[in-house]
């Protein structure tokens, strides 16, 4: 009798903690990853204009963007824990949480592509060839895992 009551109590307690774990989302983490992603977006703005030949080529700005990708990608990759799925105006799609290995590999690929491009880009010609390969990683991931606006 006593044992049965204890088991019932334990089950009740674990049900409560499981349900609160499911709703308590870590909004700080969502904020942090969005800020790091935003930084990458900002860094991409000028090189994007250079690709479209709207603004003059500037090697230093290109190299700075490539450094930002290398610095931020591994940090962002760590900011997708299971308690940061919803809220905080996240644009991460449900598919992301089912394909976390793929997402992590994509962030690694972005960083390694940025590293390779840092060495390969020395002038406007090499920029035109190499930079799109790097930022193709952004769009590729967004298409699968980020809400369309
Ligand atoms: C492996 C996947 C992946 C890669 C690679 C990636 N992103 Fe994203 N990006 C996301 C996801 C997921 C979100 C939505 C995050 C959220 O709202 O929680 C996002 C959101 C953003 C945002 C919006 C941030 C905000 O203010 O809410 C910007 C800007 C952005 N990404 C820029 C970039 C740029 C630039 C690159 C490439 C240099 C890049 N991303 C590469 C997955 C990726």
Question: In testing the pocket of ligand 1, which one of 29, 112, 146, 147 has its CB within 8 Å of the most ligand atoms?
Answer: 146
65: closest CA among 34, 37, 40? 40
Question: In testing the pocket of ligand 1, which one of 142, 147, 149 has its CB within 8 Å of the most ligand atoms?
Answer: 142
* C-beta 103 within 6 A of ligand 1: yes
Angle at 136 between CA 143 and CA 46, to 5 degrees: 110
Q: What is the pLDDT of residues 65-104, one digit of tens each?
A: 999 999 999 999 999 999 999 999 999 999 999 999 999 9
Phi and psi at residue 68, in whole multiples of 5°? -60, -45
> How much is the pLDDT for 15?
52
- Ligand 1 centroid–CA 16 distance in Å is 34
* C-beta 34 within 6 A of ligand 1: yes
Q: What is the pLDDT of residues 104-142, one digit of tens each?
A: 999 999 999 999 999 999 999 999 999 999 999 999 999
pLDDT band at residue 32 under the 50/70/90 scheme: very high
Residue 40 to residue 72: CA distance in whole angstroms: 7
Please report where in the chains the tokens 């406007």 appear, as a residue: 124
pLDDT band at residue 19 under the 50/70/90 scheme: very low
């Amino acid at each position: 009798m006593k044992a049965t009551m204890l088991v019932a109590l334990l089950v009740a307690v674990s049900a409560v903690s499981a349900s609160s774990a499911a709703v308590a989302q870590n909004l700080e983490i969502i904020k942090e990853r969005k800020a790091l992603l935003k930084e990458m977006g900002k860094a991409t703005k000028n090189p994007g204009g250079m690709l479209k030949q709207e603004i003059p080529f500037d090697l230093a700005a290109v190299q700075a963007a490539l450094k930002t990708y290398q610095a931020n990608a591994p940090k962002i990759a760590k900011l997708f824990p299971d308690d940061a799925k919803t809220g905080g105006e996240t644009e991460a799609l449900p598919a992301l949480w089912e394909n976390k290995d793929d997402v992590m590999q994509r962030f690694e690929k972005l960083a390694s592509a940025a590293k390779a491009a840092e060495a390969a880009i020395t002038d406007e010609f090499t920029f035109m060839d190499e930079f799109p390969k790097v930022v193709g990683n952004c769009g590729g991931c967004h298409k699968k895992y980020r809400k369309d606006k």
